[in-house]
Structure 1
Amino acid sequence: MLSYQFSSVFTKIGFLLTFMSNFFLIYLTLFHIKNVFGTYRRMVIYFTTVGIIFAGLEIVARPFAQNYNQHIMYFSLNEWIKSQELCQVVLVIWAGIYIIIVAFISVQFYYRYVCLLFPKRTKNFDGWKTMIWMGYPFLPASIYAGTLYFFCLPDENGDESLKDYVLEHYHLDIKDIPRFEITPLDANGLRLKNVSFMITGLLIMFIHYFVILYCGLRMNHNICDALNKMSQGQQKIQRQFFRALVIQSLGPTIFLILPVAPIFAMPFVSLYLDIAISVKTGWLYSLVGLFPPFDSISFMWIVSEYRRVIKNKLLLLINTIPESPRNTSQMKVIDKN
């Protein structure tokens, strides 16, 4: 259980960092930042809010994963939610918000792509249409969460394959654990429901990650020509937004894609290479929880207006700190003399 304890501590640290950094980003964006406005301002606030919800729900769901040969058990070790059904729902919601984050990053990339290369089309993001773009991530998230819930519920075959392992390594009866079981192939043949979930999840991830890469590469290739058509002030802010997006493309790769990929890949590695696998992969979810603070902190660091406001706030705070009584008395003596 050491890996789970390590994951639990990391998750709490991730939530603390997420809450502090994202709340601070929302505060600055609402009350102090002028160059982030309109649709993009709403996107920044929406995205950071989702990050706080995601990190908070991770503490409640306490998701973990176990890869055992061609089996994946996605489960919760939450000890204070007594209802297994409720805990399963929380696990599904957490997985759905994970997809919302990935999908919304692709929406942000597409929006910046349109702003940079096709500025006249930005009207398609304004007004009530903003709600469509912000609501879109719920569609792939609902599909992913729905297939997880309906296609990966535990059954007798899965429990029979995993119960001895769970009892030996977790000292728990598998029937007592809120769980989902994913096994693409077992002794009875292909498990279509589980395979359907895995294909659906991989397609959703691939499509949105492709949008991120495509828009990023197109912007990188055409950024010079596009910026020449703008004023110097707009060129500066657009370059900063582009650098922020580059970092935001590294973030999902490191914190969202890479931690999950091994979990999905191991059953096929075990199956086709005919090797035994037993890995507590759930600790990788703690890396997922570090994405929101990474994203917010990098955004505030890259966009110069945020840096300037933060610097001014820190200087104001330092200047308002009262001097110690000792120093004050010394000054009075000096003045008297």
Structure 2
Amino acid sequence: MIGVYDLPQYLHIFTKCSLFFAILFNTFLVYLILTKSPRQLGVYKYLMVFISIFEILYSLLEVTLTPIHYSYRSSVVVLITTSDKLFSRDILLTLNSFYWGFFGSSLAIFAIHFVYRYLVISGNALLQTFQSWKLILWLMIPLVIGFIWSLTGIFLCGPTEEFTEFMRNDVWEVFHENIEEFEYLGALMYEKSWATKNMIIYWSPIAGMTIMSLTVLASFLVIVICGYKCYLRIKLLLKNGGTSSARSQVLQTQLFNALAIQTLIPILLLHTPVVLKFSFAIFDAGLGAYCFAMSITIALYPAIDPLPNFFIISPYRKAALGCFKLRKRQIQTVDQNHMRRMPIRIVRTV
């Protein structure tokens, strides 16, 4: 029977599989974006390429670290095993902070994605900022948010003696390992003494949790508000016909549908798990080993996120199906040629 302490080993295998599909799907998507995109897509294709490259790098970092999300009572933590890594503990701690940064950047990327779709559909004057060198400023936002998350991890949620001792017994019970076998970043918000009823509050981790929670909330609100406004504009556009061509209207609808499904992916795989993890820890009821599910969903997201583009956006769907049909015809041709070359043997029966 598989014990909880065996799960990190299986998590590493899972992240490798996820990396394979993340590279496969995102690389193929970049190819389709650069070669099969309709003219109406405009600069949006560069934003899509940026996201695909980001997700490949995110998945590579996942495999390098195999981060274990965990929560015990009033704490949340990301653990990195050290015994199976080639890097020193200092480098692993830095890479863990980069991992936090990638998570924060992903939240900003999805928000910008929705802002752009709304500006296109509404014809807002701010759309011009995406058509010039100012696009770089938009792409800098996820990088800045990621940098803030990395600094938050290192300076506000770094390892402390109090946190290490707080986690020691529970880590041994769950992983059958000493806490020293891990490098970690996390937030111990407070400690309760059940005997004296006293409470020790740790303000630096609380400040870090506040920064991260506000980022999650801001990303979610931007997605919901812009998404709803996009829905209303597209509904009105299709109803009245508008001044744009029928092809452009269909493309905008397809892009929005793809974006809507792509938004469900991060909300289900990223936003919801982190909100649950934070919420239970605030009430001194950490989810414990259940947080392994969060480790899996976060590792899964870079591999799943590009899929809606293949199925919903018509030019990409046709190109993808064309590749599969071509491959099928090539296999059939090879089989037919092989059959023609085979000698025919006549077996006589007496």
TM-score, length of structure 2 as denominator length: 0.87
1:177 counterpart (179, 182, 189): 182
Query: C-alpha separation between the residues in 1 aligned to 2:146 and 2:286?
Result: 32
Query: C-alpha separation between the residues in 2 aligned to 1:69 and 1:261?
Result: 15
Contact 2:190–2:200 (Cα < 8 Å) also in 1: yes
Change (3 A) 1:29 1:331: farther
TM-score, length of structure 1 as denominator length: 0.90
Query: C-alpha separation between the residues in 1 aligned to 2:86 and 2:342?
Result: 60
In structure 2, the residue matched to 1:196 is 207
Change (3 A) 1:150 1:114: same
Unaligned stretches of 5+ residues in structure 2: 193-198, 345-350
* Alpha-carbon shift at residue 36 of structure 1 (Å): 6.2
In structure 2, the residue matched to 1:261 is 275
Contact 1:6–1:283 (Cα < 8 Å) also in 2: no
Contact 1:22–1:49 (Cα < 8 Å) also in 2: yes
Post-superposition CA distance 1:101-149 (Å, at most 9, x none): 1211111110010000125542111120111111111111111221111
Matched positions, count: 329
Query: C-alpha separation between the residues in 2 aligned to 1:204 and 1:91?
Result: 19
1:304 counterpart (314, 335, 338): 314
In structure 1, the residue matched to 2:28 is 24
1:44-63 matches, cutoff 5 A = 44-63=48-67
1:241 counterpart (222, 237, 255): 255
1:218 counterpart (221, 229, 234): 229
Fraction of identical pairs, as percent: 22
In structure 1, the residue matched to 2:298 is 288
Post-superposition CA distance 1:244-280 (Å, at most 9, x none): 111022111111112222221222232xxxx686435
Say which is worse superposed, 47-56 or 1-10, in terms of deviation: 1-10
Contact 2:81–2:182 (Cα < 8 Å) also in 1: yes
Say which is worse superposed, 219-228 or 152-161, in terms of deviation: 219-228
2:335 counterpart (320, 323, 332): 323
Unaligned stretches of 5+ residues in structure 1: 333-337
In structure 2, the residue matched to 1:137 is 142
1:327 alignment partner AA: M
Contact 1:3–1:283 (Cα < 8 Å) also in 2: no
Say which is worse superposed, 187-196 or 105-114, in terms of deviation: 187-196
2:70 counterpart (66, 85, 108): 66
Change (3 A) 1:308 1:268: same
Query: C-alpha separation between the residues in 1 aligned to 2:297 and 2:204?
Result: 28
Change (3 A) 1:171 1:125: same
